[in-house]
Amino acid sequence: MNRVEARKKAEALVYQMTLEERASQLRYDAPAIKRLNIPAYNWWNEALHGVARAGQATVFPQAIGMAATFDKELLEQVADAVATEGRAKYNAYAACNDRDIYKGLTFWAPNVNIFRDPRWGRGHETYGEDPYLTARLGVAYVKGLQGNGDTMKVAACAKHYAVHSGPEALRHEFDAQASEKDMRETYLPAFEALVKEAGVEAVMGAYNRTNGEPCCGSKTLIDDILRKEWGYEGHFVSDCWAIRDFHESHMVTTLPEESAAMAINAGCDLNCGVTYLYILKAYEAGLVSEETITEAAIRLYTTRYLLGLFDGSAYDAISYDKVECSAHLALAQKAAEESVVLLKNDGILPMDKKNLKTIGIIGPNANSRAALIGNYHGTASEYVTIQDGIMRYVGEDVRVLTSIGCDLFRDRTEPLALQQDRLMEARIVAEQSDVVLLCLGLDETLEGEEGDTGNSYASGDKESLLLPESQRLLMETVKETGKPVVLCMMAGSDIDLSYASEHYNAILQTWYPGGQGGHALARILFGEISPSGKLPVTFYETLEELPEFTDYTMQGRTYRYMKQEAQYPFGYGLTYGNAKVCEAAIVQSNKSEADKNTDATETLSEYRICAKVKNESTFAIEEVLQVYVKKEDSSFDTPHPSLCAFGRITLGAKEEKEVQLAIPVSAFEVVDEEGKRFVDGTHYRFYVGFSQPDAKSIALTGEKPVEVGLVL
């Protein structure tokens, strides 16, 4: 069923409702209308990295980990699996007439906000700091969720529109001020791509104001840009209780009915919250028209028809045995394997268990389920921690000693004990071991959403890049033993790794790797596969080089605008092999020709990068070929080259192959101070390699990307 047909059916049904009934359907917990045989429907469901908050489901790596894969095809496969489980659960619940929260088919994912500041606690829900990478992965995820059948498999939602990335403590009252250039160059492109290319069915507004207007009541964002400029036809939903903030926190209205009127008149169709209970009062006061209420209801019922909730679909046959099935668990492990980023390796990795007698596994995240899952997660039937994965992998061949070493952030693990009560145990374990796997980091209690976490810092945000003091003391204690150390950092954001970089043999950034994370880490550590992830965010040396957290200008932020050298740069990640770009050239091709490494709906230029790549090692690897562009004669370009194409490649031992990546039209465009996007200048320089062309990446990898010039 196409949208035109679905809307006609929605109109026919909505026109049979009274005004009161239409108004009642604009809440996330829409009640049944029995006289029309309409069941209740709860719009609130989550699927950030698996079906969340409704019991058993496959738990994939957190979104930031999936971003580190730089793998569009994988993201679409993961989303398709998530949608399958969502349908399976919905079918089972609906058969029992269970219409509760987290049991519908409208999933509020993905989060395509830009991770502009490493302090933001929700950054691990995103695809990182780059608008191009975020757009490409977001498009893939939406396509995987919604499918391409006659009926929409599930409905995806682009959130949080727009200009939203902390501080969490201020989000209900904060006004994010962003220039027109930053809006069009950084904050809006991913949302535009999800609307225009992926046909995302829902868009969720943010809590904050943007340039003075509450996002869920912004005529500029919702009506002018989203609907009129981009041609969006889906429904718009508020973040939860965000409309209440209009009169309680933003103070742009006085009464709830005024807030409800402001939101719905701007184009917000669905209220996650209770303020739309005042819609009829707003109507009686002349603040809202009947036509506006009716249009919102029609948009919402159009979505329900597109999902086949009234006419049925082939998806109704998906059975509950698809939930956390073996194929999905294998996919979760594959995603975890691709997400791990090798930041340092002096040759200690991969390990050979034949040469080991005893392994020490130390740290508060070594056997932590919470460190596997991030936030907005489902419930796995099995959580394979790093400790589990290693012990299963080595079996009886290697002795494993363990110690928690310290609490995640408190100064002791037992309330009646002395401070640092487990440090001595950690020292003993390390001294008895041939090698130490030190598992540190955070979990959703230390970085997460305001109000949704027991955060010990600031409403979900981090106060610094440092690990908690308890873990820093553990790092020093383990180092003092002189034993080889492999650090497994489990966190969803930038952590200061200066101490580990200086003193440890290897560093793996594992993010929150999902329910199968331990299996993935074991295979990487022991060389079954090579690590292949790349950083989707910059790891900074200090926070001092960044603007204030509340400053939304992009100057000084992210790899495109930063002024100092990164500790570990965006796009960086090592493998066990040694891949090189031997040569690269730009070739012309038919504009309409699709490229397997580029979304078919992405607007392509007539140019392609053709690169010869070679794995000079005897270790089979996967790598991410990256292309960055600098507009050499435009004053409007970003200070540093920006990502414009990427693709995963597989290289066997000593294998050489040719790879082609299509260059999108956006690679040639700039954005001026008024927010206008256009082609400016004629001289372009492309950098083709396995990292950025910055000095730090070159120093870390020992390889310089190949430069290719183009004059239009």
Phi, psi of 364 (to 5 degrees): -65, -20
CB 689 within 8 A of CB 566: no
Q: Work out the angle between the directed axes of helices 517-525 and 386-394 (0-180°, nearest 10).
A: 50
CB 206 within 8 A of CB 164: yes
Say whether 346 is catalytic.
no
Nearest one of 84, 95, 96 to 58, comparing CA atoms: 84
Q: Work out the angle between the directed axes of helices 517-525 and 326-339 (0-180°, nearest 10).
A: 50
Q: For residues 380-402, b (16+ Cβ closer than 10 Å) or e, as one string?
A: beebbbbbbbbbebbeeebebbb
Neighbours of 229 (CB within 10 A): 11
Q: What is the DSSP string of 442-464?
A: --TTTSS-TTSS--SSBTTB-S-
Active-site residue identified among 117, 239, 407, 496: 239
State the Cα–Cα distance between residues 352 and 370, nearest whole angstrom. Answer: 29
| Token pair for 300 | 């919402």
Extract the runs of DSSP E, i.e. beta strands, from 484-595: 485-490, 506-509, 579-588
| Token pair for 116 | 């502009």
**Which amino acid belongs to residue 261?**
A
| Token pair for 408 | 């995640």
Tell me the residue length of the chain.
712
State the Cα–Cα distance between residues 96 and 103, nearest whole angstrom. Answer: 12
Nearest one of 439, 443, 369 to 402, comparing CA atoms: 439
CA-CA distances (angstroms) from residue 45 to 83, 389, 711? 12, 31, 49
| Token pair for 49 | 């990295």
CB 645 within 8 A of CB 636: no
Nearest one of 272, 248, 112, 120 to 172, comparing CA atoms: 248
- Using DSSP, state whether 164 is helix, strand or coil: coil
Torsion of CA 524, 528, 530, 533, to 10 degrees: -50
Phi, psi of 268 (to 5 degrees): -85, 110
CB 249 within 8 A of CB 172: yes
Neighbours of 445 (CB within 10 A): 16
- Using DSSP, state whether 432 is helix, strand or coil: coil
Q: Tokens 């600098």 — which residue?
A: 630
Nearest one of 195, 180, 208 to 236, comparing CA atoms: 195
CB 460 within 8 A of CB 165: no
Q: Tokens 């392609």 — which residue?
A: 608
CA 616 and chain centroid, separation: 33
CB-neighbour burial class of residue 439 (10 A; exposed 0-12, middle 13-18, buried 19+):
buried
| Token pair for 213 | 């207007």
Q: What is the DSSP string of 601-658?
A: TS-EEEEEEEEEEEE-SSS-EEEEEEEEEEETT-TTS-SS-EEEEEEEEEE-TT-EEE
Active site residues: 239
